[in-house]
Chain A
Amino acid sequence: MSSGSLRRVVGAVGRFAWDFFVDDSPEMLVVAAVVVGCAYALRGENSLAVVALPVVVVLGLTICVWRALRPRAKDPDHVRRTGGRP
Chain B
Amino acid sequence: MNSKIDDKKLHQLELRISSLLRVGVLISGACLLFGWIGQLRQDGELLSTFTTYHPVPLLERMQWALLMRDRSLMMAFIGLMILVCLPVLRVAMTGVLFILQKEYKLGLMAFGVLGALVVSFCLGIDL
Q: Do A and B come from one complex?
A: no
Which positions in A face B, CB cutoff 8 Å? none
Name B residues whose Cβ lies closer than 8 Å to a Cβ of A.
Answer: none
